[in-house]
Amino acid sequence: MNIYQILNEMTKYIDEHLEEKIEYSKLSKIMGVSEYTMRRIFSLLTNQSLPEYIRKRRLSNAGYDLYQSKSKIIDIAIKYQYDNATSFSRAFSKFHGIKPSEVNKKTKLKNFPRILFNEKVELPEGIDYKIKTLDEMTFYGIGIKANNQTIVKLAPKFFQESRKKYESTYGDIEYAMVTYQKLDREQCNGYYILYQKKIKGFQKVVIPKGKWLIFRISSYNEKEIQKVSQQFYCEFLPSSKYNLRSDPELEYYHDGVTDFLVPIS
């Protein structure tokens, strides 16, 4: 079973349990990885966090239920795991653009269907890697805000702009870093270029000692780096026994190659 078949099993399970508390531990068992890693893979491949996906599916179904039945708003709220009618109404209004009390036969509601993946997509061939424990590292860098949707375009642009701006003064950019909003790593929130030398005005970044998976890309090309990153999350991680750590991912540029560093426990 490939990763896309696994994700379809997960979205099927979610749809079958929208009216119940969904246990993330059961979803992680379907994928065969830790809950932390499962949530990271899901968010990367769907461009949304797992709680966000579940919320949208529930609100989509809640709109249909209110449209088709005469159920009370509080009953629909409880059915889809909301504690009270107020929190449900707030979420419903934000999602559908109208209040639950305004739903009638003329209402146009927003539909958010279950995600289904093409299970016939061929995954790339295996990639070589090594595991290495690195001591604490200190960097100095600058960065931009980015999320899962925007980082693919923003990161290469920022890297090239920074290269032109700082290379003549500080030399080649040595590292890049992707940071995340929370420990679950479901949504990235920033991209940084890093130097090991102290630079006035740059932010100090300390990466603790830890274990890393290291994949080598034979260039600095952003498309090749993104390809390996996608391959790691689509193919390697779901089939491996490694679990992610909460530290940022790093890219190390040296000798015409890029090392893609992923923190593991």
Q: How many C-beta neighbours within 10 Å does residue 254 have?
A: 11
Q: Which tokens belong to 145?
A: 């805000």
From residue 157, alpha-carbon distances to 142, 154, 179 in Å are 14, 5, 17
**Six token digits for residue 75:** 């009953």
d(CA 84, CA 117): 34
Please check whether residue 205 is in contact with residue 141, taking contact to mean a CB–CB distance below 8 angstroms.
yes
Higher pLDDT, 2 or 171: 171
Residue by residue, DSSP assigns 43-88 as: HHHHTS-HHHHHHHHHHHHHHHHHHH----HHHHHHHTT-SSHHHH
> Looking at the predicted structure, is the pLDDT value of residue 139 above 90?
yes
* Per-residue pLDDT, 126: 56
Long-range pairs for 240-248: beta carbons < 8 A, 24 or more residues apart: 242/37, 242/213, 243/33, 243/34, 243/36, 243/37, 244/34, 244/36, 244/37, 244/40, 244/185, 245/210, 245/211, 246/180, 246/183, 246/185, 247/207, 247/208, 247/210, 248/177, 248/178, 248/179, 248/180, 248/207
Rg (CA), the chain: 22
Position 182 scores a pLDDT of: 66
Mean pLDDT along residues 69-84 = 93
User: What SS3 state is found at 115?
Assistant: coil
122 pLDDT band, cuts 50/70/90, is: low
Span 222-256, pLDDT tens digits: 888 877 877 787 777 777 778 888 889 999 999 98
Report the mean per-residue pLDDT for the chain: 88
Span 93-111, average pLDDT: 88
Comparing C-alpha atoms, which of 192, 203, 170 is closest to residue 248? 192
Helix (H) or strand (E) holding 114: none
* DSSP sequence for 136-189: -EEEEEEEEE--TTTHHHHHHHHHHHHHHHHHHHH-S--EEEEEESSTT-SSEE
- Per-residue model confidence (pLDDT) at position 97: 92
Lowest mean pLDDT among 62-71, 76-85, 86-95, 166-175: 62-71
What pLDDT shows up at residue 183?
A: 62
| Cα distance between residue 251 and residue 258, in whole Å | 6
* Residue of 217, 213, 220, 223 lying closest to 249 (CA atoms): 213
How far is residue 132 from each of residues 40, 160, 214, measured CA to CA in Å? 22, 29, 7
pLDDT tens digits for 182-194? 666 677 899 999 9
